[in-house]
Structure 1
Amino acid sequence: MPTNFIFRTIRWSAWEGCEAGIEHVDISPADGGIDFAGVVIGQEDDANFALAYRLRVDVEWRVREARLKTTSGHRLHLESNGKGTWHENGVEQPALQGCIDIDIQASPVTNTLPIRRLSLQHGGMSELRLCYIAVPDLTVSVAHQRYTALDNALYRFESVQSGFTADLPVDVDGFVLDYPDLFKRLS
């Protein structure tokens, strides 16, 4: 983040014709890192959901803690040492070993985490193994994703498993502006 970063609010809505929903997140510096406090209201596979989350990220943009809960009662608490060891609700998760980032299915804000952490230069590419959090049931699985810096303000996201690809324009701080066919940035 720029040295003058104090507090930021970002909001996305569903792309026209998409039922993805709306997300609101407050981002602020805290304890030598960054806190994200967000809410997502959306629809996935014809199921409506509401999700609240809090993420704590260290100065190197590594997720250290994620707390998620839905209005239907699903809860998830992940903690990481920032080096690839994870605990879910207090229990070590060897299957997640080596994951640094998380991807919350319904949230474009989590795409910013690897974009900022990797600091890829034009043409640079990195393949990641990360914790994928499905919504609305909050199950965690390992996903393989690829990020390529097309220029300073455009990144290609690829899901290695599904073949899904999206070119993500970002602002000066690396936060996703639009996620084509899914989310449009409002603020």
Structure 2
Amino acid sequence: MKTLIWQGILYQSLEYFKIKENGDRYTIESKIIGCYENKMYTADYKILITQDWTVLEFVIESEINTIKNILTGKKRQDEWVINNVIHPDFKGFEYIDISLTPFTNTLPINNLKLAENSSRKIDVIYIDVLNHHIRPAKQQYTRTALNKYLYENIETDFKAEISVDEAGLVISYPKLFEKTSEFLQNL
């Protein structure tokens, strides 16, 4: 099990993150608290993924200025069931991107296993927690060095060079997230 804390620079947040291996799957549990643009918020998420970093299901419970929201997602073959409704817009999507955490960058980084100087465009389910909005998005990852990736949001031209540790977890995501501490427990 690995536990760490990320500081959200833009979102003025702290995230307490845990990843645990359960046989052929990983369970991710995290708690985020912060304040952004007059929105005081908490967000707890749980994600179940396979050993190859493919998302099987997720739950995000948030509270923004005392208003609570729950978002659930479960993959059935190549379709996504979001809050108990099949969403054809996400058919074949492999990845999710949760706005308040750098963890979801780890999913394509570890799943794609890019060689240095190679890149790949992907489709993701983008989850904007603060605005209760979910939509398809196009992104591209390029491995620029052993532990560095260029992230690009194709629709907005946003780019950032992300540094990761040996497990693919974000160490530094300039102007957005920084890892502040880590604890590794061998079971």
Q: 1:22 aligns with which of 14, 18, 43?
A: 14
Q: Is the 8 A contact 2:55 2:94 kept in 1?
A: yes
Q: 2:158 aligns with which of 164, 167, 184?
A: 164
Matched, 1:128 2:130: no
Partner of 1:58: 50
The alpha carbon displacement at 1:73 in A equals 1.1
Partner of 1:84: 78
Give the whole-Å Cα distance in 2 for the aligned partners of 1:50 and 1:84: 31
Structure in which a larger fraction of residues adopt strand: 2
Give the whole-Å Cα distance in 2 for the aligned partners of 1:131 and 1:45: 24
Give the whole-Å Cα distance in 1 for the aligned partners of 2:147 and 2:176: 19
Q: Deviations for 1:60-95, whole angstroms, at most 9, x for unmatched residues?
A: 1110001001133110000013x5310012221101
Partner of 1:75: 70
SS of residue in 2 equivalent to 1:174:
coil
Q: Is the 8 A contact 1:20 1:182 kept in 2?
A: no
SS of residue in 2 equivalent to 1:114:
helix
Give the whole-Å Cα distance in 1 for the aligned partners of 2:20 and 2:59: 16
Q: Is the 8 A contact 1:159 1:165 kept in 2?
A: yes
Partner of 1:151: 145
Give the aligned residue type for 2:122. Answer: L
SS of residue in 2 equivalent to 1:11:
strand
Matched, 1:101 2:95: yes
Give the aligned residue type for 2:68. Answer: G
Give the aligned residue type for 2:168. Answer: G
- Give the superposed CA RMSD: 1.4
Q: 1:115 aligns with which of 109, 113, 130?
A: 109
Give the whole-Å Cα distance in 2 for the aligned partners of 1:32 and 1:134: 29
Q: Is the 8 A contact 1:74 1:137 kept in 2?
A: no
The alignment's TM-score, normalised by the length of structure 2, stands at 0.90
Partner of 1:48: 40
The alpha carbon displacement at 1:137 in A equals 3.9
Which segments of 5 or more consecutive residues in structure 2 lack a partner in the other structure? 182-187
Runs in 1 of length 4+ with deviation above 6 angstroms? none
SS of residue in 1 equivalent to 2:116:
coil
SS of residue in 2 equivalent to 1:150:
strand
Give the aligned residue type for 1:47. Answer: K
Give the aligned residue type for 1:24. Answer: Y
Identity of aligned residues (%): 27
Give the aligned residue type for 2:133. Answer: T
Give the whole-Å Cα distance in 2 for the aligned partners of 1:139 and 1:38: 20
Give the aligned residue type for 1:75. Answer: I
